Copies of this chain bind each other. A is one copy, B any other.
């Protein structure tokens, strides 16, 4: 009832194939419309009505593809997490021979890039408030989100493990250190994604973000 909440075909055939493609396209269209609506109005102001209108489908059709408003949000979030994960994997560049610090810097750059080009994802993250949201999605979907989120963190863990192994880093627990690192640089983005706090700091995103990165990197290095 969660991820597979879409009509599935069993036997492929010319018509089936097209139908299936159209189904996926429509699903994407709804998701895209939802992304716009959520982004423009904020999660709580967004309405299913407007999502449907923007996707050019009837209201009921939305519920054919998604169980609820919250489920749409969850899928949007996962889309974002997936895109991020790919960016990070690419940035990590497994088959290149890079130093741990280089990898960490590349990961940070990818994260900043993602933030700048996929802002809506951060809004989503921040709007994930207990009350409205968490209760409305299934436990499975929740677990899926956690899993997806962790995969992004894993690249940082690996980079730090390398740094420890290479004797470059002065830390012992890679997992915890990655968490701290993420918390710190993410903190910069969180603050900058909020207009009010951006006004308080009077810096631009890049300089704050990179500043935090340099600070933390220096803190990690021997």
Residues of A participating in the B interface, judged by any CB pair closer than 8 Å: 41-45, 123, 126-132, 134, 142, 145-146, 149-150, 153, 175-177, 179-188, 190-191, 194-197, 199-203, 207-208, 211-212, 214-220
Contact = CB atoms under 8 A, between A and B. Distances in A.
B188 A183 contact: yes
B216 A184 contact: yes
Contacts of A145: 196
Contacts of A187: 183-188, 190-191
B180 A188 contact: yes
Nearest to A201: B179
26 contacts: A41-B131, A42-B129, A42-B130, A42-B131, A43-B129, A126-B126, A127-B129, A146-B199, A176-B203, A176-B207, A176-B211, A177-B211, A179-B203, A180-B208, A180-B211, A181-B215, A183-B187, A184-B184, A184-B188, A184-B212, A185-B187, A186-B187, A186-B190, A190-B190, A218-B218, A218-B219
Given A146-B199, A179-B211, 11 more contacts: A44-B44, A44-B132, A123-B129, A128-B194, A128-B196, A134-B196, A180-B208, A183-B190, A184-B187, A187-B187, A215-B219
Closest CB pairs A-B (n = 7) = A187-B187, A42-B131, A215-B219, A184-B184, A219-B219, A218-B219, A180-B211
Contacts of A43: 129
Most chain B beta-carbon contacts within 10 A, residue among A127, A134, A196, A218: A196
A146 B188 CA distance: 17
A71 to B, nearest CB: 15
A134 B179 contact: no
